[in-house]
Amino acid sequence: MPLASEPLRKLGFLTIGLFDGAAPGRGHESTLEIIGLGERLGFDSVWVRHRHLQYGISSPVAVLAAASQRTSRIELGTAVIPLGWENPLRLAEDLATVDILSGGRLNPGISIGPPMHYDRVKDALYPDTADSEDFGYDRVLRLLDFVRGEPASDFSGTEGFEVFSDRVQPHSAGLGRRMWYGGASLRSARWAGEHGMNFLTSSVVKAEESGDFAAIQLSHIHAFRAHHPDGDRARVSQGLVVIPTDSASPEQRAKYEDYARKRLPRTAAPQGPARMLFAPDLVGPAAEIAERLHSHTAFQQVHEVAFALPFTFDHEDYVQILTDIATRLGPALGWHPAD
């Protein structure tokens, strides 16, 4: 098993890509600029969230297609695409296309479950099939099959001047190994391992076996690797909200501390019928955050992270946070920036 003393191999970050509904272009441009900054700072990966009918990225594949043309090295991920909103065949085509355009840098993260507020959107999303749609793991299997090159049709050949394939085109041969499952439960961790996916674990888990966040997350990592063909070498990425303040202004520090303070009560006990448990945001000097991470039993078991940027901050705040993560926190965790 990885030890706390082992250096961090891959450093990534996650952004929601907020924008003003009256002027959405500025927010999307800000997101692309932040991705470019991440590459220049040496980050190994950037991940974008998925938000429908909100003022965040609704089409992460399109955003990452644009990012693929402004960057050359950094890996581009989604954390995560909720498959309840998607047709797996069409999504497989989009993912493969962006992976080709990016030179094999796409890392799609997905999850299952019905769309949020399904009763309010089902008539618009699935007007004829709302009551028969399957939002379980079979939807993931369909996507994995299409991405990995399994047939999507019983016909291939030529009709007139047109040539048809029986599998999704373009086919990107390595993409199937870079599919991630975003899970918050033991069941999801086991399922992802059994089906050879990579595993994204975030700042939210289901409190199924205890009320200790780190212990729950650790159990998910162990369950995933126990059921994965690669065992302890199976890839796991941890995503916590991390806000180093080393180069922050006094005003920024006050904003960050207020943000974390308002969110702290939800970390005291599981929330709602699903018993969702949230990790506290890590705010402070990089050295202190590194010390807290090294003592985090789940962090001790991972070699890569995707630290989440807070939802509601300004562009200059993200620049400061990312710069401190890359130049102070990352090195404190044993990480070295990519060339």
Per-residue pLDDT band for 228 (boundaries 50, 70, 90) equals very high
Q: Has residue 339 got a pLDDT over 80?
A: no
User: Model's pTM, two decimal places?
Assistant: 0.96
Name the burial class of residue 188, with classes exposed (0-12), middle (13-18) and buried (19+) by CB atoms within 10 angstroms of its CB.
buried
Q: Has residue 3 got a pLDDT over 80?
A: no
Q: Which CATH code for domain 10-332?
A: 3.20.20.30
Mean local confidence (pLDDT), 285-313: 97
Query: SS3 helix, strand, coil % of the chain, rounded to 5?
Result: 40, 20, 40
**Could you tell me the end-to-end alpha-carbon distance of the chain, in angstroms, rounded to an integer?**
28
Mean local confidence (pLDDT), 50-67: 97
Tens digits of residue pLDDT in 114-160: 999 999 999 999 999 999 999 999 999 999 999 999 999 999 999 99
Q: What percent of the chain has pLDDT over 90?
A: 97
Q: Residue 170, preceding bond cis, omega within 30 degrees?
A: yes
Which amino acid, 260? A
Query: How far is 47 from 77, CA to CA, in rounded Å?
Result: 4
Per-residue pLDDT band for 89 (boundaries 50, 70, 90) equals very high
Helices (H), 196-282: 213-227, 250-263
Residue 110's pLDDT is 98
Residue 2's pLDDT is 41
Query: How far is 167 from 164, CA to CA, in rounded Å?
Result: 9
Per residue, the 3-state secondary structure of 224-235, as one string, reads HHHHCCCHHHCC
Average pLDDT, the chain: 96
Mean local confidence (pLDDT), 280-307: 98
Q: Has residue 309 got a pLDDT over 60?
A: yes
Residue 1's pLDDT is 40
Q: Has residue 214 got a pLDDT over 50?
A: yes
Domain map (residue ranges) of the chain: 10-332
Residue 5's pLDDT is 53
Residue 209's pLDDT is 85
Residue 83's pLDDT is 98
Tens digits of residue pLDDT in 246-267: 999 999 999 999 999 999 999 9
Tens digits of residue pLDDT in 60-80: 999 999 999 999 999 999 999
